[in-house]
Copies of this chain bind each other. A is one copy, B any other.
Amino acid sequence: MIDYQAPLRDMRFVLYEVFNVADDWARWESLSELVDQETADAILEEGAKLVSKTLSPLYRTGDEQGCHWQDGKVSTPSGFKEAYQLYSEGGWTGLSGNPEYGGMGMPKSLGAQFDEMSCGANLALMLYPSLTSGAALAIDAHASEAIKSLYLPKMYSGEWAGTMCLTEPHSGTDLGIIRTKAIPEDDGSYSLTGTKIFITGGEHDLSDNIVHLVLAKLPGAPAGPKGISLFLVPKVLVNDDGSLTEPNSVSCGSIEHKMGIKGASTCVMNFDGAKGYLVGDLNKGLNCMFTMMNYERLFVGIQGLGSAERSYQNALAYAKDRLQGRAATGVAYPDKEADPLMVHGDIRRTLMNIKALNEGGRAFSTFVGQQLDKAKFGEAYEKQKAAGLVALLTPVAKAFFTDMGLECCVAGQQVLGGHGYIAEWGQEQLVRDVRITQIYEGTNGIQSLDLLGRKIAANEGAYFRLFADEVRVFIGNAENSEFAPALSKALDELEQATEALLKQTADDPNTINAACVEYLQGFAYVAYGWVWAQMAEVAKAQLDSGTDDQDFYQAKVTTARYFYKRQLPKGSALLKAAVSGAEELYGLSNEQF
């Protein structure tokens, strides 16, 4: 398996040429002091070095060795500790962290690029520091000043890692029925007892301490989701000066044997009267979680994107190298025993599929990152709209990037034929690893329900119209674009499907659940159509102006055309399926299934 290389040229293209994020940064006072294009480029280049030299080489060995549990301790694969150390020392855990507590305060549009490259290089290893960043985000937003100043600097520096402890054996998606109990103590802390499962990084040997964020219920708390509170439970208790004292009553009972991400420990965590500290208000624990959810969900989506990019790089290298068969148009390399795979139309189609999905996904993730930045750093007039777009588009990004992540890893594997199925080439690991991204942080079914139920039906399409208006404005401005007619038609279909579903759901409450997955995918194809048209228009302008980089921009235009011919039509079929009603789904009794 070749080592991963960050697609820096393409990242700069979407950041600065398509979405002009540097102009935003310059406009916003709180950001303009921290970052400009030059700084951001330096960060991207440093990041690219780190991921290709430090993270990527541990990709396969991490899978081969996996994690090991013994007597409650978990050891990570060899090399992980040193890589984690370098990562931490580079400040990457705090890349988007609050500067008041030692974070670098970088915008998400930039962070999204680093997320993509680091997850593309080594997903399993990246889960440890990224869970820390996520936990830090929730602490920064909701914890007391005392907790923040005690915990955040150590988390941003990677000295202490973080986890999210939500799932219990009987309760995954349905957090309302969790059983972990929190009993108030006289000193203002809480005593937590219960079992959490599927806890990524719940125990490991990478950091001095692990800070668990745990959902639990007080005795007598309201039933369901409204009785859930959030607690910070350190693995080792902490003095006020930040020094470590004695171990807390937290233990790792075992780790899971999984399909992939074997370098990441997935732990059963037992809390046995463990000391914990309330984060946020009592019974508002789910709200605290939601704060970080848009970031985390976009991040998980980007894991799919990074994996797909690695699949592309690996499959492309193989297709250029492997000799097999002859070109349909006649022998291309008469001096060789056979032509390279690249001469074959189906191999090129497979690679173009991945390329079009990856570059479309990268543009879309950058757009969503930009909206997160607008919602956080922007002026009053832009905040609200951006927040609406973030709410709407985050589930699309999470589900579609990861669905396409699997599709692209499987497609890349297919290019390698039998060699894709054996461990040696790394391609089968990509498939096993990326598969989790469709499941965790809310399955893609749950993302789709969130999109159609909470983000569209619940506000009668208000967020949806924000998006549709953006696309309409683009079409209006680009009316001579070769892509405008097809994009306009695709948007019409999406609008009609959305309206139809809003009507259907008034009559049949099962509509949303029955329609949502295909609706989300149909939506995503339209959204990709939009970003592809934007990229193509930027590229055409460059070509018209006689750019030196003809190859790059011409490839953009050609790939956009490919997307419109080959991929956009899938959206139509999906939307047609989505509006077909729930009747047949409930036409069978459980026994007839």
Contacts and interface: CB of A to CB of B under 8 A. Distances in A.
A425 to B, nearest CB: 11
Contacts of A346: 445, 448-449, 513-514, 516-517
Contacts of A267: none
Contacts of A517: 346, 349
A345 interface: yes
A215 interface: no
B565 A569 contact: no
The complex is assembled from copies of this chain, and their number is 2
Interface in A410-459: 410, 413-414, 417-424, 428, 431-432, 435-436, 438-440, 443-445, 448-449
A145 interface: no
- Per DSSP, chain A at the interface is helix
Contacts of A511: 345
B569 A573 contact: yes
A302 interface: no
A71 interface: no
B510 A329 contact: yes
A414 B438 contact: yes
A177 interface: yes
A485 to B, nearest CB: 15
Contacts of A414: 438-439, 443-445
A540 interface: no
A247 interface: no
Given A432-B432, A551-B589, A325 B173 contact: yes
B258 A421 contact: yes
Contacts of A444: 414
A541 interface: no
B417 A435 contact: no
A59 to B, nearest CB: 16
A584 B348 CA distance: 9
Contacts of A443: 414, 417
A258 B422 contact: yes
Interface in A454-504: none
A582 interface: yes
A144 interface: no
A569 B577 contact: yes
Contact of A174 (B338, B342, B509, B518): B338
A532 to B, nearest CB: 12
A320 B590 contact: yes
Contact of A171 (B259, B324, B572): B324
Residue among A197, A428, A444, A567 with the most chain B CB within 10 A? A428
A420 to B, nearest CB: 7
Interface stretch (A33-41, A125-133, A150-158, A553-561): A553-561
Residue of A438, A551, A573 with highest tally of chain B CB at under 10 A: A573
A345 B423 contact: no
A592 interface: yes
A298 interface: no
Interface in A544-593: 551-552, 554-555, 558-559, 561-562, 565-567, 569-570, 572-573, 576-577, 580-582, 584-593
Interface in A208-258: 256-258
Interface string A157-187: 0000000000100111110110000000000
A344 interface: yes
A271 interface: no
Interface in A309-349: 316, 320, 323-325, 328-329, 337-338, 342, 344-349
Contact of A513 (B344, B445, B551): B344
B561 A569 contact: no
A219 to B, nearest CB: 18
Contact of A558 (B320, B512, B573, B587): B587
A577 B565 contact: yes
A292 interface: no
A352 interface: yes
A324 to B, nearest CB: 4
Contacts of A328: 509-510, 512-513
Interface string A335-375: 00110001011111111100100000000000000000000
A421 B259 contact: yes
Interface string A182-207: 00000000000000011000000000
A593 B432 contact: no
A406 interface: yes
Given A440-B418, A565-B580, A345 B257 contact: no
Given A174-B338, A257-B422, A585 B352 contact: yes
Contact of A172 (B316, B324, B424, B592): B324
A40 B338 CA distance: 48
Contact of A348 (B176, B177, B436, B585): B585
List the 4 closest A-B pairs by CB distance, nearest first: A345-B513, A345-B514, A259-B428, A573-B573
10 contacts: A256-B422, A257-B423, A258-B423, A259-B428, A345-B515, A355-B593, A552-B592, A555-B592, A558-B584, A565-B580
